[in-house]
Amino acid sequence: MRRHNALGFSLIEVLTALALLAVLGASAVINYSALHPRLMLANATRQVLLDLRVARVQTMADNQSRRLLFGQGRAEYRRQRRTGAGFEDEGPPTALPDGIVVADCTAPNDAVAFRPRGNAISFGTVVLANTAGDTMRLVVDIAGQVRVQ
């Protein structure tokens, strides 16, 4: 009898490995699908948080009031700058990630605005929601500080 020291695999071993990979791959897809709405909500929260902080810093840098205008149930918001007695848009509306909307804004006129010294003219809570019903709250206080709750 001859012994073979080959490193080959039998057909059964290969099929078993492929079946195991298929099961693991399917479970990863299922887990990603369940996590996707929460990931989009976290991305939207970071986006709005950053835009609020940038608006505050720009206001202090060029001594001109700015605000972010939110609309309940909308999937976008507007960056605006004070011009005379009112505000005008700075560019096109900023879209939120797919499946995310502004569920609520407690600031007066649905706008969070900052004075040139960095404190808030109008402040409150912005609530973002995803299609699964999860929510995240961004709080802007009278001092102009922005945080996630």
| Least confident interval from 33-42, 53-62, 84-93, 110-119 | 33-42
| Least confident interval from 35-39, 97-101, 115-119, 139-143 | 35-39
In a domain, 57, yes or no: yes
Any idea what the CATH number is for the domain that residue 141 is in? 3.55.40.10
Q: What's the pLDDT score for residue 27?
A: 74
In a domain, 87, yes or no: yes
Query: Angle CA(13)–CA(17)–CA(22) in degrees, nearest 5?
Result: 145
Backbone angles phi, psi at 2, to 5 degrees: -100, 140
Query: CA-to-CA distance for 75 and 97, rounded, in angstroms?
Result: 8
Predicted confidence (pLDDT) per residue in 23-37, tens digit? 887 776 666 667 889
Query: CA-to-CA distance for 139 and 48, rounded, in angstroms?
Result: 11
What's the structural domain count of the chain?
Answer: 1
Q: What's the pLDDT score for residue 103?
A: 97
Q: Which of 94, 55, 65, 60 is nearest to 77 (CA)?
A: 94
Look up the domain containing 78 and give its range.
11-148
Q: What's the pLDDT score for residue 9?
A: 76
Mean pLDDT of the chain: 90
In a domain, 51, yes or no: yes
